[in-house]
């Protein structure tokens, strides 16, 4: 569970950037930029391919479309012609940028910047296309005549304009600087060598220590070693704060946070309010967990009971997931997976999706993905953070993971394949290219996490042969719930609380870098009830140790909302489709569950997410099903905590 948020690039987006569509003469005198030339060549190549490739069938379709188009209003006709041109150019440049970015993530060689340069230039080419003045002006002009447009056409234009907003040509210099700064930051983050006691260690090594070590001194050393990477990232993050705000302001967004939130069709105030509401709804449950574990951990380490939990007492670098604090007899997945291979883990995840009626993964997924850890002596490193990639907005889907045969990767593999099957579900001719993305980013995260949850339920685990036979040892249902809450309920204060509020302040309030670490730990104390093992001054940059702060900025609320939404969907599937207890439902082999999921996945972003939820689930977003799910645990915790002082602040 723990890497949930670590499934980074959900709708893996190079925010669509405008390319130079034929039209407005560019300022040729200033074309010094290689990337722009690449864009132009790509465009020429594309035009040539259009001429060359018309099969009889394609020409026939075209003829029919032309006949139909005579009836459309002028704006609609113009919009369709524009989108057709746009899509072709966009897909090509997007695929090239994905490929370059894939390399910078899967093959990091210290001192070799050739991948980085290729990444920069292909991103710049994509940005030059998606953010071009012509694209922006055309969209604005056509959207001003929205009444004449089909809703689906207007939606596409809005998406194209949103994509332009990330890297508009109207801020060309800033865009170029930002692309370079982002590449540099990612390289620094993933090229960093962690050290413990003078020896080089991997992040996985440090995670293992934080999960298993019982000596508090050693735990503190591991925790502190994991934070060293932040120092070197502070300057880069300060640049990115300025550059991200600067680029979106060129298109009228007040700041980068507002820009990212607008993909939900919401304002910043609405998004913060939704996260705060979720925090408040789940606060009583988190408070009981916090109280219970303050006492439990004090016992475990032989310490007095603290008011705030020291960060190095917890089994995760950011205290975002406490799952590993306990194991439940009868469901020891780590033990069950010991004799399986990492390959088995990924195949098993695919099997579940296939049993729901999804197709097997395309062969290219297996050929091109990077699924397993890189050996220490391989001569290169890779991004250790799991992600799923939609390379060409069509059938080229890949995942980047470092799968090992343990419980955490078992669940992560199910999660990543959720993204992959989402990509495949909406990559159909009926779904316009620019709308081949999740209903919102939270949906994208939620689907895979839900399948991961389903893959951990007792009857499921038994069905796939990962648990002892029922009679041997039946896991205690309350303790199972407890362990799940150590992910779900513990994750909300981190995601809706610390991360969302920090990034909001970072961009919307332009929090100065001299205050970052202080503010970071204020938020950690307020939302998570956690303190660092020792004073953390401004020479550190603990926020930047979190991947998303650097490379997936201002969207972390998506992970929190994903949990809320997935509980709503799971609750619906268990009760309404399987007629089973949501605590122990077995999805395996139920095509009707797959049919329902496809109703949610197949439309991509062609419909508003709130409308989709209302139509298919009959609900608005709400933490109620999650609270109901954990109700038996809540009662148990209240019992255990009777008479104990509660020290967690209100939110």
User: Which of 358, 170, 334, 166 shows the shortest CA–CA distance to 262?
Assistant: 166
Instruction: Between 7 and 382, name the residue whose CB sits nearer to Zn ion.
Output: 7
> At closest approach, how far in Å is the CB of 235 from Zn ion?
29
Instruction: Between 7 and 14, name the residue whose CB sits nearer to Zn ion.
Output: 7
Instruction: Between 10 and 250, name the residue whose CB sits nearer to Zn ion.
Output: 10
Instruction: Between 7 and 570, name the residue whose CB sits nearer to Zn ion.
Output: 7
> At closest approach, how far in Å is the CB of 361 from Zn ion?
17
Interface region with Zn ion, contact rule CB under 5 A, candidates 6-14, 187-195, 405-413, 420-428: 6-14
CB 521 within 8 A of CB 460: no
> At closest approach, how far in Å is the CB of 10 from Zn ion?
5
Residue 229: count other Cβ atoms within 10 Å of its Cβ: 20
CB 287 within 8 A of CB 636: no
Instruction: Between 153 and 496, name the residue whose CB sits nearer to Zn ion.
Output: 496
Look at strands 387-390 and 397-400 and give their pairing. Answer: antiparallel
The owner of tokens 């993050």 is: 237
C-alpha to C-alpha distance for 651 and 649, rounded to whole angstroms:
7
CB 314 within 8 A of CB 325: yes
Please, what's the b/e burial string for 77-106 (b: 16 or more CB within 10 A of its CB; e: otherwise)?
Answer: ebbbebbebbbbbbbbbbbbbbbbbbebbb
C-alpha to C-alpha distance for 584 and 597, rounded to whole angstroms:
19
Instruction: Between 350 and 445, name the residue whose CB sits nearer to Zn ion.
Output: 445
C-alpha to C-alpha distance for 223 and 545, rounded to whole angstroms:
11
> Which listed residue (3, 7, 127, 517) binds Zn ion by CB under 5 A?
7
Q: Hey, is 330 helix, strand or coil? A: coil
CB 275 within 8 A of CB 560: yes
> At closest approach, how far in Å is the CB of 500 from Zn ion?
17
> At closest approach, how far in Å is the CB of 637 from Zn ion?
29
Radius of gyration of the chain (CA): 25
User: Which of 623, 645, 649 shows the shortest CA–CA distance to 498?
Assistant: 649
Instruction: List the structure tokens of 280.
Output: 């408040």
> At closest approach, how far in Å is the CB of 277 from Zn ion?
23
> At closest approach, how far in Å is the CB of 590 from Zn ion?
23
Query: Cα separations (Å) of 33 from 27, 121, 391?
Result: 12, 9, 25
Instruction: Between 516 and 559, name the residue whose CB sits nearer to Zn ion.
Output: 559
Bridge partners for 195 per DSSP: 200
Q: How many CA atoms lie within 13 A of 447 on its CB side?
A: 29
Angle between the N-to-C axes of helices 114-130 and 34-52, in degrees from 0 to 180, rounded to the nearest 10: 70
What is the footprint of Zn ion within residues 422-451 (CB under 5 A)?
A: 445
Q: Hey, is 19 helix, strand or coil? A: strand
> At closest approach, how far in Å is the CB of 445 from Zn ion?
5
Bridge partners for 196 per DSSP: 199
Chain centroid, CA 113 distance in Å: 26
C-alpha to C-alpha distance for 54 and 31, rounded to whole angstroms:
33
C-alpha to C-alpha distance for 336 and 351, rounded to whole angstroms:
18
> At closest approach, how far in Å is the CB of 560 from Zn ion?
13
> Which listed residue (10, 15, 442, 524) binds Zn ion by CB under 5 A?
10
Instruction: Between 134 and 445, name the residue whose CB sits nearer to Zn ion.
Output: 445
> At closest approach, how far in Å is the CB of 196 from Zn ion?
29
> At closest approach, how far in Å is the CB of 411 from Zn ion?
11
Beta strands in 249-374 (DSSP E): 309-310
Interface region with Zn ion, contact rule CB under 5 A, candidates 8-16, 155-163, 257-265, 547-555: 8-16
> At closest approach, how far in Å is the CB of 186 from Zn ion?
17
> At closest approach, how far in Å is the CB of 7 from Zn ion?
3
Would you give the DSSP letter of residue 396? -
Interface region with Zn ion, contact rule CB under 5 A, candidates 10-18, 149-157, 239-247, 465-473: 10-18
Number of amino acids touching Zn ion (CB under 5 A): 3
CB 523 within 8 A of CB 502: yes
What is the footprint of Zn ion within residues 353-392 (CB under 5 A)?
A: none
Per CB under 5 A, does 561 bind Zn ion? no
Residue nearest Zn ion by beta-carbon distance: 7
Q: Hey, is 531 helix, strand or coil? A: strand
Beta strands in 24-119 (DSSP E): none
Instruction: Between 445 and 551, name the residue whose CB sits nearer to Zn ion.
Output: 445
Instruction: Between 10 and 248, name the residue whose CB sits nearer to Zn ion.
Output: 10
Instruction: Between 333 and 562, name the residue whose CB sits nearer to Zn ion.
Output: 562
Instruction: Between 520 and 556, name the residue whose CB sits nearer to Zn ion.
Output: 556
> At closest approach, how far in Å is the CB of 365 from Zn ion?
16
Instruction: Between 10 and 136, name the residue whose CB sits nearer to Zn ion.
Output: 10
Instruction: Between 325 and 420, name the residue whose CB sits nearer to Zn ion.
Output: 420
Beta strands in 515-563 (DSSP E): 530-531
Dump the DSSP string for 183-212: HHHHHHHHHPPEEETTEEE-HHHHHHHHHH
Instruction: Between 7 and 312, name the residue whose CB sits nearer to Zn ion.
Output: 7
| Binding track over 445-484 against Zn ion, x by CB under 5 A | x---------------------------------------
C-alpha to C-alpha distance for 460 and 475, rounded to whole angstroms:
13
> At closest approach, how far in Å is the CB of 217 from Zn ion?
35
What is the contact surface with Zn ion in residues (CB under 5 A)? 7, 10, 445
């Amino acid at each position: 569970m723990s890497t949930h948020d670590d499934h980074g690039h959900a709708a893996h987006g190079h925010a669509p950037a405008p390319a130079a569509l034929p039209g407005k003469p560019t300022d040729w005198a200033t074309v010094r930029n290689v990337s722009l030339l690449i864009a132009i060549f790509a465009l020429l190549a594309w035009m040539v391919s259009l001429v060359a490739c018309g099969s009889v069938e394609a020409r026939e379709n075209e003829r029919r479309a032309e006949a139909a188009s005579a009836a459309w209003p002028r704006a609609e006709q113009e919009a369709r012609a524009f989108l057709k041109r746009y899509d072709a150019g966009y897909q090509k440049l997007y695929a090239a940028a994905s490929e370059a970015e894939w390399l910078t993530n899967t093959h990091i060689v210290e001192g070799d910047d050739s991948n980085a340069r290729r990444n920069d230039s292909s991103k710049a080419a994509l940005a030059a296309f998606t953010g071009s003045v012509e694209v922006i002006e055309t969209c604005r002009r056509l959207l001003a005549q929205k009444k004449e447009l089909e809703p689906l056409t207007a939606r596409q234009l809005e998406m194209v304009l949103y994509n332009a907003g990330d890297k508009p040509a109207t801020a060309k210099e800033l865009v170029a600087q930002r692309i370079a700064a982002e590449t540099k930051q990612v390289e620094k983050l993933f090229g960093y060598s962690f050290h413990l006691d003078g020896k080089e260690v991997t992040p996985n090594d440090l995670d293992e220590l934080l999960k298993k070590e019982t000596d508090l001194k050693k735990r503190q050393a591991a925790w502190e070693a994991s934070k060293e990477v932040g120092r070197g990232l502070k300057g880069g993050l300060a640049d990115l704060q300025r550059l991200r705000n600067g680029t979106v302001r060129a298109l009228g967004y007040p700041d980068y946070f507002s820009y990212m939130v607008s993909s939900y069709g919401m304002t910043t105030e609405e998004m913060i309010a939704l996260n705060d509401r979720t925090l408040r709804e789940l606060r009583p449950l988190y408070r009981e967990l916090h109280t219970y574990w303050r006492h439990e951990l004090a016992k475990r380490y032989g310490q007095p009971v603290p008011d705030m939990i020291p960060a190095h007492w917890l089994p995760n670098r950011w205290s975002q997931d406490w799952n590993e604090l306990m194991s439940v007899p009868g469901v020891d997945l780590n033990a069950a997976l010991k004799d399986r291979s990492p390959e088995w883990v990924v195949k098993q995840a695919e099997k579940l999706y296939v049993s729901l009626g999804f197709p097997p993964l395309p062969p290219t997924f297996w050929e091109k993905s990077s699924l397993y850890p890189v050996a220490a002596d391989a001569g290169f490193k890779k991004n250790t953070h799991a992600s799923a990639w939609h390379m060409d907005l069509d059938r080229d889907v890949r995942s980047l993971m470092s799968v090992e045969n343990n419980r955490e990767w078992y669940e992560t593999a199910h999660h990543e394949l959720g993204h992959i099957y989402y990509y495949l579900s909406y990559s159909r001719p009926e779904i316009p290219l620019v709308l081949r993305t999740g209903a919102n980013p939270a949906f994208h995260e939620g689907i895979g996490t839900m399948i991961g949850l389903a893959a951990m339920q007792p009857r499921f685990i038994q069905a796939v042969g990962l648990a002892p036979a029922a009679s041997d040892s039946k896991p205690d249902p309350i303790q199972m719930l407890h362990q799940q809450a150590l992910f779900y309920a513990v994750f909300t204060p981190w995601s809706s609380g610390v991360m969302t509020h920090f990034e909001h302040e970072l961009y919307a309030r332009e929090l100065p870098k001299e205050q970052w670490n202080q503010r970071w730990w204020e938020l950690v104390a307020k939302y998570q009830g956690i303190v660092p093992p020792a004073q953390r001054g401004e020479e550190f940059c603990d926020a930047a140790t979190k991947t998303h702060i650097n490379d997936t900025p201002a969207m972390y609320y998506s992970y929190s909302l994903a949990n809320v939404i997935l509980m709503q969907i799971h609750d619906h599937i268990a009760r309404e489709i399987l007629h089973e207890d949501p605590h122990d439902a077995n999805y395996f082999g139920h095509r009707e569950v797959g049919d329902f999921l496809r109703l949610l996945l197949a439309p991509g972003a062609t419909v508003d997410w709130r409308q989709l939820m209302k139509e298919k689930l009959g609900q608005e977003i709400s933490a109620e099903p999650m609270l109901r799910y954990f109700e038996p645990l809540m009662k148990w915790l209240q019992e255990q905590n009777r008479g104990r002082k509660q020290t967690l602040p209100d939110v």
